[in-house]
Amino acid sequence: MLEVSGLRKVYEGRGVEALRDLTFRVDTGELVCVVGPSGCGKTTLLRCVAGLLRPTAGSVRVAGVPVTGPPPRMAVVFQEYGRSLFPWMTVRQNVELPLKEKKVPRGRREELVGGSLAAVGLADAADAHPWQLSGGMQQRVAIARAVAYEPQVLLMDEPFAAVDAQTRADLEDLILTLWRDLGMTTLFVTHDIDEAVYLGRRVVVLSSSPTVVLEDLKIDLPPERDQLTTRSLPRFADLRGHLYAQIQRARGDR
Partner 1 sequence: MTRDRSPDSPGSPEFSRAAYGAAGLGALLALLEAVPRLGLVDPRHLPPASEILATLAAELATPELWAALGQTMWGWALGLAIAFCAAVVAGVVIGVVPGLRAATRSTIEFLRPIPSVALIPLATLLFGASLGSTLLLVVYASFWQVLIQVLYGVADVDAVAHDTARSYGLSAWSRIRHLAWPTALPYVMTGLRLAAAVAFILAVTAELVIGSPGLGLAIQVAQSGGAVATMYALVVLAGLVGIGVNLAVRLLERRVLAWHPSIRREAAA
Partner 2 sequence: MTGHPRATEPPERKTPAGPGRVAAGVRRAARRTLTAAGVPVLLVLVWWIHSTVSASFYVPGPDRVARAFAETWFSSRLVDDALPSVVRLLAGYALATLAGVGLGVAIGLSPRLRAAAEPVLEFFRAIPPPVLVPLIMLLAGIDDGMKVLVIASGCVWPILLNTVEGVRALDEVLSDTCRMYGVRGASRLRHLVLRGAGPQIMAGLRQALSVGIILMVISEMFASSSGLGFTIVLFQRGFAIPEMWSGILLLGLLGYTLAVLFRRLERRVLYWYYGRGGDRA
Ligand X SMILES: Nc1ncnc2c1ncn2[C@@H]1O[C@H](COP(=O)(O)OP(=O)(O)OP(=O)(O)O)[C@@H](O)[C@H]1O
CA distance 101 to 122: 23
Contact 8, 178 (CB under 8 A): no
135 near Mg ion (CB under 5 A) = yes
- For residue 58, the partner it binds in ligand X, partner 1, Mg ion, none, with Cβ less than 5 to 8 A by kind, is none
Is residue 134 close enough to count as binding ligand X by CB under 6 A? yes
Cα(7)–Cα(222) distance, rounded to whole angstroms? 32
CA distances from 223 to 122, 183, 201, 202 (A): 29, 14, 8, 12
Among 2, 7, 24, 41, binds ligand X (CB under 6 A): 41
CA dist 161 and 195 (Å) reads 11
* 87: contact with partner 1 by CB under 8 A: yes
- Under rule CB under 5 A, which residues in 34-73 are in contact with Mg ion? 43
For 69, counting Cβ atoms within 10 Å of its Cβ (0-12 exposed, 13-18 middle, 19+ buried), the class is exposed
Does residue 54 touch ligand X according to CB under 6 A? no
Contact residues for partner 2 (CB under 8 A)?
11-13, 47, 50-54, 68-70, 72, 74-76, 78, 80, 83-84, 86-89, 97-98, 100-102, 129, 131-132, 145, 149
Contact residues for a second copy (CB under 8 A)?
11, 13-14, 16, 35-39, 41-43, 79-80, 82-83, 121, 128, 132-137, 140, 158, 161-168, 191-193, 244, 247-248, 251
